[in-house]
Structure 1
């Protein structure tokens, strides 16, 4: 079962304060963008370490913080039954990924799709869904407590929303979730955010620039 109390609290907090939180964390002290050279990604003044997490990748192997080291990674929450936001976002990210294919594998940016619907999405199903957009996309999921912990560390939220026929059909529900993309640096730290509407060319340019110019701890 999804923790509804958790969801309600976080969604309320998101609605009330996200703008102020984003302004505090993603703008410099003088209110200017932290990285004016980037086209669409907004960087934190200082990258933030993520607490320990343990997700399950589509191939059955664990996804832990060390697995994300060495590459810039774009992390996105979603679910395979998502009617619009998820497929649109993954399609846009795949356009950026195609432009990174010429980059060396050792520095090539990565995309991570995390399903927040473990009742219907096994790791394998999440992987099949994500790979249909681009074969290099990483996919993972976990039980709800682990997903809540991971989402919160990124400043994201999600919540199960029952449909009208949930009592007759247990699968009659959707999942509301944050639509932003988290930017993780090569040390696996939260480094920034990309907000919709997404611009594939701008995302491709920003990540190519970061991947070629910044690997320092």
Structure 2
């Protein structure tokens, strides 16, 4: 009886080991080999994001499905930002100009998300972002939704009053938003795939995203996915 039990345990262990080996082989077979970037730091394994829904101008929702099929650079900021946000969006616009010759169906995209919904409506965010480049996606949401979205990307933001010192105006609208300056890279499956830390190398970012786009297998269309 003891020998039979030992034999059964051995068979279970071997089967589990074989299953794990097979799963890893299959996983590796479906994972594209991406080139080593110069300006972007890729994560060892892309991180699947929890569901989110941000608001774009005109009431259109921006969800993970909106971003699929493209590499996307996400930047968190606000339209009243005096320096970091306009500087970063101007740099990203330079990268977008370098991508202009790529096919629109797979061209990398930039997403600007405002962390200041109190002052930034979706329409204001869109006007602000499009002043730098018309192809930029722009959105915002309620503070709880923004906090969850930012946290999923390892980004942070915080409302900071400007009226705390001598001569303060006392105006509750007199505040700023402290936020992460890093960029987050999403892959064509809308997973967090990498980060870009300042100072930003425009040509390096553009070259990395172009190379990553060319090295990523085309994503199936929603209709094709529905037939699987």
Normalising to structure 1: TM-score of the pair? Answer: 0.81
SS in structure 2 at match of 1:111: strand
| Superposition RMSD in Å | 1.7
**Structure 2 CA distance, aligned partners of 1:44 and 1:58?**
32
Task: Please tell me whether the aligned partners of residues 34 and 212 of structure 2 are also in contact (alpha carbons under 8 angstroms).
Answer: no
Matches within 5 A, 1:68-147: 68-147=67-146
Asked if the contact 1:186/1:215 (under 8 Å) is kept, the reply is: no
Assess if the C-alpha contact under 8 Å between 1:141 and 1:147 holds in 2.
yes
In 2, Cα distance between the equivalents of 1:97 and 1:216? 20
1:183 aligns with 2:185: yes
Secondary structure, aligned partner of 1:159: strand
1:216 and 1:155, CA in 2 relative to 1: closer, same or farther beyond 3 A?
A: farther
TM-score normalised by the chain length of structure 2: 0.78
- Give secondary structure in 1 for the equivalent of 2:65: helix
Q: Which runs of 4+ in 1 moved over 2 A?
A: 34-37, 165-168
Q: Which has the higher helix share?
A: 2
Corresponding residue for residue 217 of structure 2: 215
SS of alignment partner, residue 59 of structure 1: helix
Q: Indicate if the aligned counterparts of 1:130 and 1:138 stay in contact, CA closer than 8 A.
A: yes
2:172 to 170, 173, 184: 170
2:203 maps to which residue? 201
Equivalent residues of 2:34, 2:216 under 8 A apart: no
Larger C-alpha radius of gyration, 1 or 2? Answer: 2
| Deviation (angstroms), 1:35 | 7.1
Q: How far apart are 1:216 and its partner, in Å?
A: 6.7
**How many corresponding residue pairs?**
184
Distance 1:56 1:93 in 2: 22
CA offsets per residue over residues 21-63 of structure 1, 9 Å max, x none? xxxxxxxxxxxxx977211100010101000111001232001
Q: 2:163 touches 2:171 (CA, 8 Å); kept in 1?
A: no
